[in-house]
Amino acid sequence: MDLIRVVEQLFHEYGYLVLLIGLPLDFMALPVPPGNSTLTHTGFLASKDVLHGLSAIAMALTGSIIGSPSRM
């Protein structure tokens, strides 16, 4: 399975939701594309103007906050 193709397909079908939903799933160690690969590809897509950079950052930040375990 080619990980980059999977991430590309997910972005093509779901756009920013990949960041909002995929990053929290990465924290739960589910078998989804790893967060680092997803974020790297997000930066690539933003540099090619496929994704808007600020929107991608906002979704990635929100997804990371949702998925991060509580430290209280």
End-to-end CA distance of the chain: 39
pLDDT of residue 23: 79
**Residue 6 confidence (pLDDT) above 70:** yes
pLDDT the model gives residue 58: 93
18-62 pLDDT tens trace: 888 877 777 776 665 667 777 888 888 889 888 899 999 999 888
pLDDT at 72 over 60: no
Where does the pLDDT of residue 64 fall: very low under 50, low under 70, confident under 90, or very high at 90 and above?
Answer: confident
Task: Identify the three-state secondary structure at position 29.
Answer: coil
